[in-house]
Amino acid sequence: MQSGQIVKALIEKLGGNFSSSLGIQLETADPTEIFKWFLASILFGARISEKIAVNTYKEFETRRILTPEKVLETGWDGLVEILDAAGYVRYDFKTATKLLETMRNLEEKYQGNLRCLHDSALSPSDLEKKLQALGAGIGQVTVNIFLRELRDIWEKADPLPQGLVVIAANNLGLVKTTAPRQVLSSLKQLWEENRIPNKRFSDFESSLVRLGKTYCRRERCAECLIKGLCSKAC
């Protein structure tokens, strides 16, 4: 099967950007929308189910706590209550503390605007370091989730692909290497040759994350939504 058919099937069967599924419009480059995705990325970054992370973001959305100021005003007890209400109980105390530290630093250093943080970065790697420096609990996984969907929106957003992407891309025969930088380069070239209208490269990358997370990592080949396209025999 041609690569273009695989790219199309991936997005159709597994879905594109996680941010879009939450109703967040990153393509506008609006700082408010970007902050929403940052908040969601922090929630997704913990070792917790995607369903609980989504429910927790929706709880913040329902209560209209979607700015650094609102998070700080809510306070530690209020944040724990929101996290618990959405089922985020395993990491409630830690996440509440992390959110307050992160928002405080974002306000003090960048006027609460993540675009200011981006503009102050000297390079993609410096951008990642500045994001991690916002809080002790902002690790590489959270930063990767956040920046992955900002490719083509922020000039310096260009993280290496997650291991899940590398596994999925190799299983599908889209790449022939496990070196993250080479995988990223090959996937970008593949996307340029097989673009889908109204979609971005990050939609393609996110579909590979979903495939790797749900099926490839666990070798659930028989249940895979696109098993007919896979070159790996389980």
Convert the pLDDT of each residue in 131-150 to its tens digit. 999 999 899 999 999 999 99
| pLDDT on residue 218 | 84
pLDDT of residue 5 exceeding 70: yes
pLDDT of residue 233 exceeding 60: no
Q: What is the mean pLDDT of residues 35-55?
A: 95
Convert the pLDDT of each residue in 211-221 to its tens digit. 999 989 888 88
Q: What is the mean pLDDT of residues 74-96?
A: 95
Q: What percent of the chain has pLDDT over 90?
A: 86
pLDDT of residue 234 exceeding 70: no
Convert the pLDDT of each residue in 6-23 to its tens digit. 999 999 999 999 999 999
If one compares 150 and 233, the residue with the highest pLDDT of the two is: 150
pLDDT of residue 41 exceeding 70: yes
Three-state helix/strand/coil letters over the chain: CCHHHHHHHHHHHHCCCHHHHCCCCHHHCCHHHHHHHHHHHHHHCCCCCHHHHHHHHHHHHHCCCCCHHHHHHHHHHHHHHHHHHCCCHHHHHHHHHHHHHHHHHHHHHHCCCHHHHHHHCCCHHHHHHHHHCCCCCCCHHHHHHHHHCCCCCCCCCCCCCCHHHHHHHHHCCCCCCCCHHHHHHHHHHHHHHCCCCCCCHHHHHHHHHHHHHHHHCCCCHHHCCCHHHCCCCC
Convert the pLDDT of each residue in 203-213 to its tens digit. 999 999 999 99
Identify the residue whose tokens are 């929101």: 82
Convert the pLDDT of each residue in 157-189 to its tens digit. 999 999 999 999 999 999 999 999 999 999 999
The structural domains of the chain, with segments of one domain joined by +, span: 3-15+160-229, 19-148
* Residues whose CB falls within 8 Å of the CB of residue 201, separated by 6 or more in sequence, listed in order: 151, 152, 187, 188, 191
User: What span, in angstroms and rounded, lies between the C-alpha atoms of 204 and 63?
Assistant: 32
Q: Which superfamily does CATH assign the domain made up of 19-148 to? A: Hypothetical protein; domain 2 (1.10.340.30)
Identify the residue whose tokens are 């080949």: 221
Convert the pLDDT of each residue in 195-205 to its tens digit. 999 999 999 99
Q: pLDDT band for position 90 (50/70/90)?
A: confident
| pLDDT on residue 1 | 52
Q: pLDDT band for position 2 (50/70/90)?
A: confident
Q: pLDDT band for position 108 (50/70/90)?
A: very high
- Given a contact cutoff of 8 angstroms between Cβ atoms, the answer to whether 27 and 153 are in contact is yes
Mean pLDDT of the chain: 94
Q: Phi-psi bin for 190: left (phi > 0), alpha (psi -120 to 50), beta?
A: alpha
User: What span, in angstroms and rounded, lies between the C-alpha atoms of 172 and 169?
Assistant: 5
